[in-house]
Structure 1
Amino acid sequence: MVFSSLFFTFAFLPITVILYYSLGKPLRNIVLLTASLFFYAWGEPVYVLLMCGSIMINYWIGTLLGRDSGGRRNRQLLLSISLIFNLGCLAYFKYFGMIISTITAMGGWNLQVGTPALPLGISFYTFQTLSYVIDVYREKIKPQKSLLLFALYITMFPQLVAGPIVHYADIESQLADRSMTLEKFYSGMRRFLCGLAKKMLLANNIGLLWSEVKAMPGTEISVLMAWAGIIAFTLQIYFDFSGYSDMAIGLGKMFGFRFKENFRYPYSSQSISEFWRRWHISLGSWFKEYVYIPLGGSRVGKWKLIGNLFVVWFLTGLWHGASWNFVVWGLYFGTLIYVEKSFLQKSMARWPKAVRHIYLLLLVVIGWVFFEFTNLTDGLSFLRIMFGVGDNALIDNQGMVKLKTYAVLYSVCIIAASPGPKKLALLFIRTHGNIYKLVVNVYYCVLMFWGAAYMVGSTYNPFIYFRF
């Protein structure tokens, strides 16, 4: 079940909201947990058992860690059990096929081994359970005594399958008790509609251009067409994932939860380091807190820093998918961040802002090529086309037609990906507060009906980050 579907928007969500608020406060968590399990089981009924097993084991380990205040070896053993179980499940379901294919390629064998289907959202809920157990082990938080509340933390459907990754400490108090007002609910609904519009109206439509370009034979793609296509993907993946995060944050607010922001206009950044402070914030903060800092962070020698960055960005790339192109993508950004930290940062400060921004966008767009092409050879071939290496035409009529067709959508996407509209809205509030309320209400009504119309007629509706 996806958020951008008619069943979710006009059946599952309204029924859940009605039951949640009509059955009274004592039953709200039960309603939300039941709805979350149903939401997950809708597409993968078998793997809901895996998730429930993970909940039971990690709840048990957390409880034992809370009781054992003395024995260090026992605590380390319990932590090890949790790490082996959680990472073992993730490795088997997500990376088993990659491991077998790599071994086969290296040994020259022809192994025919079936690979398991990837459980939806396993990367996200595995990281949440790991952060909970590690924080209990570190005695940063107390273990949750209620199995119901712990299960709700792991399974909560707004952020279950594609994040943001929620730390237990951030919502610990909200699990037991949370206040709710009509204004908060309305604010959450507005945020959900914004995310839905990003997904249905922007990501899906600009993504069609990239699908057309990617399906073309390499010999028929001009330099212009290659850049038009990969820029379309650059916009698609932002609106796809930030749209999902907006919907998750909005849904959470509708049920009284406050989730942290996951995106802060990353394409307005002026360095790779800043970009990664603004893109998929919850994942970046997870690796920083649980991998980078324990390794020593940046307060180490040159070679140790290189090693730390290699580990973090190798894992960041690998987290995104069971294919070596994701590892290359991660190490690509890790290398750029090291270059910036080591010597480029000081000189960049003297560059004009426009130059820094172009530098950031160019490197990010190149990075998305490694991300999107699972076959590295195909990705490198596409990069060669982008930079005019080969016999491909520089400009062709087909490319010009595509640009004219998508010109308005390109413009809307570029504006929507910047903080400009938000700044204008804040300015309008200060000068025309009363009119603003009316305009906003009309705006969200239009988004709702327009988004619903696209859900009815759209045949292209993938969530890119669902596969991670």
Structure 2
Amino acid sequence: MLFNSIGFTLFLPTVFILYWFVTKNSLRFQNILLLTGSYFFYGCWDWRFLFLLMFSTALDFYSGLKIHHSKSDKLRKTWLIISVAINLGFLGFFKYYNFFIGSFAELLRLGGLGSNTQMLSIILPIGISFYTFHGLSYVFDIYNRKIEPSVNIVEYSLFVSFFPLLVAGPIERATHLLPQIERPRRFVYIQAVDGMRQMLWGFFKKIVIADGCAEYANLAFSDPSNHSGSTLLVGAVFFAFQIYGDFSGYSDIALGTARLFGFELLRNFNYPYFSRDIAEFWRRWHISLSSWFKDYLYFPLGGSRNGKLQSIRNTLIIFAVSGLWHGASWNFLIWGVYHGLLFLPLLIFGKNRQHTDTAAKDKLLPSIAELLQITFTFALVLIGWIFFRAPNLTTAFHYLDGLFDKTLLTKPAPGIYLFQLAAMGALVTIEWLQRDRPHGLAMKPTWTTSVKWVAYISIFLICLAHFKQNQEFIYFQF
């Protein structure tokens, strides 16, 4: 089931009414209702993969108990390895089997050897990368004695499969979400209303920005060799806004929906296109994934404890793995390594933490230096998005070659994008003014009620006018 579907407009209020008016006096029944609703939400995509989700959940629940109660470190490690190996085995098979088999076959051909490898028609279970990482963080935290295991299978299952975050995150931690599931919740009007505002802003970013930008971006990336440099530039910029609107829009809808039920999920985006260097960008983009890799890969590898060389190695590893996490393709690997290489100079010279505050803090406009930093960082990110979006490496390099052609200064191909440019300008303006707030419609107390309602109604009507049924989110494929 998609957030931007007619089905969701029926599903959400139904669950909301049952949750607060029928099961409100029983935490147990509230959790059972949410778990049942989450499985229904997931099963609307493909009910067969519900069994995989349930198996993964049961595996980590049982492994967590065994790790906690095992008397010897060897047995604890054995159960950890079992859980990690099976989880990554499923993820590897469904997501990476054809990639590695195809790459191995190509390597054999380049060496002059024949190959009888066979590709499989594998359907990628939606959300598998997200719920697998939920479970892995849980067993890692138990193994490291940060938490004790849940003894309630319903509560743990809800942690893994809570429907707002199930298919595209944010990637939650048991230390953050499980305590909220285990304790009674009450309806908080202010929390619910702000959740609806955040949902509305998320729908605007998805329906108006992402879906609107997709048409021109698809045109540019479909055959870059037949387009001018100016068209390719517009296409790349449109894709940058498409993926931001699509993914951060999903995250806003997820966080807002969770707040309707009394939950606060981890923030996943913090205005990343206002970053002043690549390090800041990665502290603001897909925050839950970046922090996951830092805690469960970078630090276990040694972090920066043993000097710069180990820190450089570990940084390149997490960026490469992050690229492959997004997809089984050399494009994604190069995209990850590209960002890693951009990060290294900041790391080597100790500049990777120089921008930890908000750009132009307490000011209306950035300084000239900040504006140049933001523009340059966005340009670097834009080049990376070309590898991310292109269907293969050949297309990506053709795109870059055409982008820096002399036709860059010509008029771009015609398209209905004047409204889209206006919408993107409105997005940037609103988010810049709200950059110290949790989301674009987290109105400041100084704003009058009439101004707020004009904004809400206008955005709602614009979304309604541009709504298209069942436009999937980009990160569903990851």
Structure 1 residue 406: Cα displacement = 4.2
Residue 233 of structure 1: how far off its partner (Å): 0.4
Residues 36-435 of structure 1 correspond to what in structure 2 (within 5 A)?
Answer: 36-68=38-70, 70-108=71-109, 109=115, 111-177=117-183, 178-215=185-222, 217-343=223-349, 345=351, 352-388=369-405, 393-399=407-413, 404=418, 406-420=420-434, 429-432=444-447
Q: Residue 454 of structure 1 aligns with which residue?
A: 466
Query: How many angstroms does 1:103 deviate by?
Result: 1.2
Single out whichever of 333-342 and 395-404 deviates more from structure 2.
395-404
- Give me the whole-angstrom Cα distance separating, in 1, the residues matched to 2:50 and 2:116: 33
- Look up the SS of the partner of 1:120 in the other structure: coil
- Give me the TM-score of the superposition, normalised by structure 2: 0.89
Q: How many angstroms apart in 2 are the aligned matches of 1:407 and 1:265?
A: 18
- 1:357 counterpart letter in structure 2: I
Alignment check: 8 A CA contact 2:315 2:340 kept: yes
Measured in 2, the distance between the counterparts of 1:212 and 1:381 equals 15
Residue-by-residue CA offset, 1:314-345 (whole Å, 9 max, x unaligned): 11001000111101100111111112211383
Question: Is residue 324–residue 374 contact of structure 1 (8 Å, CA) maintained in 2?
Answer: no
3-state secondary structure, aligned to 1:158: coil
Mapped to 2, the partners of 1:429 and 1:158 lie a distance apart of 26
Contact 1:96 1:115 in 2 (8 A): no
Report the TM-score, using the length of structure 1 for normalisation. 0.91
Task: Report the counterpart of residue 467 of structure 1 in structure 2.
Answer: 477
Contact 1:206 1:410 in 2 (8 A): no
Give the stretch that moved more between structures: 122-131 or 377-386: 377-386
What are the superposed Cα offsets for residues 53-80 of structure 1, whole Å, 9 maximum, x if unpaired? 1111111111112222x30000000000
From the superposition, tell whether residues 383 and 250 of structure 1 become closer, same or farther in structure 2 (CA, over 3 Å). Answer: same
Structure 1 pair 14/453, CA: closer, same or farther in 2 (3 Å)?
farther
CA distance in 2, matches of 1:407, 1:278: 24
Distance 1:426 1:210 in 2: 27
Partner of 2:11: 12
The aligned counterpart of 1:440 is: 452
The answer to whether the Cα contact below 8 Å between 2:434 and 2:442 also exists between their aligned partners in 1 is: no
Instruction: Tell me, in whole angstroms, the C-alpha distance in 2 between the residues paired with 1:310 and 1:195.
Output: 32
Partner of 2:112: none
Q: What do residues 243-285 of structure 1 show as CA deviations (whole Å, max 9, x unaligned)?
A: 0000000011001111121111101010100000000000000
3-state SS of the aligned residue for 1:43? Answer: helix
Whether the 8 Å contact between 1:231 and 1:365 is mirrored in structure 2 is yes
Please tell me whether the aligned partners of residues 122 and 161 of structure 1 are also in contact (alpha carbons under 8 angstroms). Answer: yes
Q: Deviations over 1:405-462 (max 9, x none)?
A: 6442342243245345777999984545xxx23332343344334434433xx26823
The alpha carbon displacement at 1:290 in A equals: 0.4
In angstroms, what is the RMSD of aligned CA positions?
2.5
Confirm whether residue 23 of structure 1 aligns to residue 29 of structure 2.
no
- Taking a change above 3 Å as real, the CA distance of residues 427 and 120 of structure 1, as seen in their structure-2 partners, is closer
Alpha-carbon offset, residue 351 of structure 1: 9.4
Pick closer, same or farther for the CA change 1:219–1:83 going to 2, 3 Å: closer
Distance 1:447 1:394, change over 3 A: closer
One-letter amino acid of the structure 1 residue matched with residue 401 of structure 2 = R
CA shift, 1:188, in A, is: 1.4
Give the helix-richer structure, 1 or 2: 1
Cα pair distance change 1:220/1:405, threshold 3 Å: farther
Q: Encode CA deviations 1:341-390: one digit per residue, 9 max, x unaligned.
A: 113839x99992233222211110001011111311110111111112xx
Distance 1:51 1:311 in 2: 28
2:472 maps to a residue whose letter is P
Deviation at 1:128, TM superposition (A): 0.5
* Contact 2:38-2:162 at 8 Å conserved across structures: yes
Give yes or no for contact 1:204–1:460 (8 Å, CA) kept in 2. no
Q: 1:425 to 1:80 in 2, by over 3 A?
A: closer
1:130-177 CA distances to partner (integer Å, 9 max, x unpaired)?
A: 000010111100100100000000110000000000101002221122
Identity of aligned residues (%): 36
- Higher mean displacement: 134-143 or 21-30: 21-30
The letter of the residue matching 1:439 is: V
State whether residues 208 and 423 of structure 2, in contact with CA within 8 Å, keep that contact through their aligned partners in structure 1.
no
**Paired residues of 1:415 and 1:421 also in contact (CA < 8 A):** no
Moved more, 348-357 or 114-123: 348-357
Give the paired residue count.
Answer: 456
Contact in 2 for aligned 1:6/1:452 (Cα 8 Å): no
| Equivalent position SS for 1:399 | coil
Q: Which of 276-285 and 379-388 deviates more?
A: 379-388
Kept in 1: contact 2:212–2:420 (CA 8 A)? no
